[in-house]
Structure 1
């Protein structure tokens, strides 16, 4: 370890002497292109209020579920990391102590994408010059805290510093969109809402009836009938379009999109509504209803033009006790095997060749890239293949994606990179890694005389900037 911690300029580029210089040239050509971050979970209030970030722990540690789950795997408790109800047992209120626990566990991130992103954040954004450890934790904390006191590190200023041209937030269907209205006036076209109706499409969820009431309040349309429910969803989608929204977001367990006859869907809705806390229907009935509603969401996208982002295949809250104690997105979500060819068939049969419909399909099941998703995206004009996300947005997984999907789907049927993060300061790090990995893959094609260098540079620019712009463009 040197006295001053620095990052190698060729990190994540190919190691061999033939492709590395080519990759470096390609990467440098696209390194500074603007970031289009259309799928993510940064709270819109951060940009609307533009308040200073509270402290290094709340900025870098607490909201990053990649980071916290690794520390939990090594014996840490979520409350010790500032996660969970503040009045719960063992909850750590001291941000410096939370940050110390993170730094003491730095070795556990070796070889993970979290290590890459956090290195980039600490060195490139905050100017940290010592590697995190139990001994350096306070020094690193103080360096970051000093930066956060500077107005140049407020959220809107960082949008400019990070080169973020557009960022999408993820908002519940019942959101008032007031913060987005403020931003539309103050930062027009910069921060856009994304319609996330998932809680409303799963009647067995304990909060379903309460969420229906939220939808009714937001839309002004009674949701105690199936017709009213659909009308309220359409109303809220229209509100998102009016607020500048370009996409919806759907994170179901299954990729099934089989529609039901209207009478059958109405019957299931009414049956669920009669039950206490959504318990009126069976798991099989709920699965059928949620698949039906995905088809309805696709039909509505064909009407209003919102791009349908679809990322199934994650078993949410694998530890239900943790989820019950600490809330949504804290129960250790785990990928599962996902089938797309049959699941997406109803939607693609109905809308796959329609000029008015667009879907971007993501997966955390690597096996389906070459077997299902690349062939589907390689033929249906309405479907694009989403970038590796969540557990797959790591260097080797992203390389495997390019190798598995490109030969069938081509580059033009992909959506470009999305970061899908709550950790705002990791956005430039994640996009930087994607650009480096793509440069390495393209460099190999050049070295093998399968692409000319100018074509590789052009393709890298498409993947980094032009394809996400096109995939989410308003129609």
Structure 2
């Protein structure tokens, strides 16, 4: 991290690129290598045989030159990539002024939608939780205090997001635990959370209660609820202390959906119009839990493999594991979660190739007709995400 200048305001981008080129062989066989190679060749026109330490300066100048062209302005790329809808994830108290400006700009034909992302206001493990919640209640509440004011403030901000075009609420949680607690117990946990007096188990219980409440609100206001659990954040404490969050040491761990989601699904799993998209970092649950849940509950859809699993082999394992139980219709389609704008074509291309590969095998084995496979392909790529995310 230090060699790459992480955390340093004086880091030289050219030095960072030099390190990257020298390390390029280490990416062979990895998902990161696949994405990057596709992006560099197809988007930037780089000869990947030249990616090495000796050619680093030459390639750096080529990239700087390409990025300076009008074709590489963000809106031009939005058009050339064929993007119709791009969704950001946003803090519940964000003003969404940039989204409003884009929506009002007649020269921009695409849709950039906000997504309600309340993790920092639901996870009592997070530093600064009490201060954020106090601010939420003051700025977005209805005058009520305590737990009731907290729920009202969250509901108010969800409505504000919907007014600005939001279609979904995204939840990054530690586990898929959901709990239906009494109002008195939920209020007790909430009050203790603000005082910092919860045990680790109680903090998990409070988050589980709030996932139930988020589902209840989605049934009421129509926001699609997406859930992606199973990451042990900031696993290496010294690196977190030195470099901060999102620096490469968030590690997956095993989770359970069948028991964890039962309270939520008992009450809302068959509710009209409720859409719950489940993502996972745990491959062991593909066929054992996720596919059966999606196969029974009309509200449940299977989110695309993400993060460590949005790699060609892992995506193919996912498709093979879930389809025999859930079929194709319970898939949410490929929705990438990239933070790198120029990687969007590479990731979607990889997904299309994986889906085509799986369908081709079914055709070759006479398990599906070629004509039907072509219809399924279009549905997976285009219609499924529109249907699941209410577009």
Q: TM-score, normalised by structure 1?
A: 0.79
Deviates more, 1:149-158 or 1:437-446: 149-158
How many angstroms apart in 1 are the aligned matches of 2:309 and 2:81?
23
DSSP 3-state at the match of 1:301:
helix
Which residue number corresponds to residue 74 of structure 1? none
Distance in 2 of aligned mates of 1:362 and 1:301: 17
Contact kept in structure 2, 1:340 and 1:373, CA below 8 Å? yes
Q: Which runs of at least 4 in structure 1 moved beyond 3 Å after TM superposition?
A: 220-224
How many Å separate the matches in 2 of 1:188 and 1:228?
Answer: 39
Identify which of 414, 438, 441 aligns with 2:358. 441
Gaps of 5+ in 1: 1-77, 87-91
- Aligned partner (choices 166, 180, 183) of residue 245 of structure 1: 166
- 2:84 and 2:213 map into 1 onto residues whose CA distance is 32
Q: Secondary structure at 1:443's aligned position in 2?
A: helix
Cα gap change, 1:126 to 1:206, in 2 (>3 Å): same
Q: Identify which of 223, 228, 232 aligns with 1:311.
A: 228
Look up the match of 1:381: 298
Listed as ranges, the gaps of 5+ residues in structure 2 are none
Matching residue of 2:157: 236
Deviations for 1:65-123, whole angstroms, at most 9, x for unmatched residues? Answer: xxxxxxxxxxxxx233242252xxxxx52111111111110001000111111111111
| Cα gap change, 1:217 to 1:179, in 2 (>3 Å) | farther
Distance in 1 between residues matched to 2:48 and 2:205, nearest whole Å: 54
Match of 2:104 in 1: 185
Sort the Cα spacing of 1:449 and 1:184 in 2 relative to 1 into closer, same or farther, 3 A: same
Pairing 1:169–2:88 present: yes
Mapped contact 2:37–2:48 kept (Cα < 8 A): no
TM-aligned CA distance change 1:345 to 1:130, over 3 Å: closer
Higher relative contact order (CA 8 A, sep 6+): 1
Contact 1:85–1:326 at 8 Å: present in 2 too?
Answer: no
1:146 paired to 2:69:
no
Name the counterpart of 1:271. 192
1: CA distance between counterparts of 2:192 and 2:320? Answer: 47
Deviation at 1:174, TM superposition (A): 1.2
Answer with 391-400 or 212-221: which moved more. 212-221
C-alpha distance in structure 1 between counterparts of 2:299 and 2:2, whole Å? 44
Indicate how the Cα distance of structure 1 residues 111 and 222 shifts in structure 2: closer, same or farther if over 3 A, else same: farther
| Residues 107-122 of structure 1: pairs in structure 2 closer than 5 A | 107-122=25-40
SS in 2 for 1:79: coil
Cα displacement string for residues 366-400 of structure 1 (whole angstroms, at most 9, x for unaligned residues):
01010000000011100001111110111111111
Q: Measure, in 2, the Cα distance between the counterparts of 1:325 and 1:356.
A: 45
- Distance verdict in 2 for CA 1:205–1:224, change over 3 Å: farther
Query: Hey, what's the Cα distance between the residues in 2 that align with 1:328 and 1:217?
Result: 28
Deviations 1:274-297 (A, max 9, x none): x2xxx2211111111100000000
Output the CA distance in 1 between the equivalents of 2:240 and 2:37: 29
How many residues get paired? Answer: 388
The Cα offsets for residues 201-233 of structure 1, whole Å up to 9 and x where unpaired, read as 122322102222442454255685111111110
Q: Which 10-residue stretch deviates more, 383-392 or 113-122? A: 113-122
Kept in 1, the 8 Å contact 2:174–2:232? The answer is yes
Which secondary structure does the structure 1 equivalent of 2:52 belong to? Answer: coil
Rounded to whole Å, the distance in 1 between the matches of 2:184 and 2:110 is 41
Q: Where does residue 288 of structure 1 map in the other structure?
A: 205
- What SS does the corresponding residue of 2:377 show, helix, strand or coil? helix
Q: Please tell me whether residue 81 in structure 1 is matched to residue 4 in structure 2.
A: yes
How many angstroms apart in 2 are the aligned matches of 1:216 and 1:148?
44
1:463 aligns with: 380
Is 1:345 paired with 2:266?
A: no
Shift of the alpha carbon at 1:170? 0.7
Kept in 1: contact 2:177–2:260 (CA 8 A):
yes
Q: CA deviation at 1:323?
A: 2.1
Q: Deviations over 1:186-209 (max 9, x none)?
A: 246611111100111122322102
Distance (whole Å) between structure 2 residues aligned to residue 390 and residue 421 of structure 1: 9
Q: How far apart are the structure 2 equivalents of 1:224 and 1:142?
A: 57
Residue 258 of structure 1, aligned match among 179, 190, 199: 179
Aligned: 1:226 with 2:150: no
Normalising to structure 2: TM-score of the pair? Answer: 0.96
Q: Say what the alpha-carbon RMSD is for the aligned residues.
A: 1.5
Measure the CA separation in 1 of the matches of 2:222 and 2:125.
Answer: 29
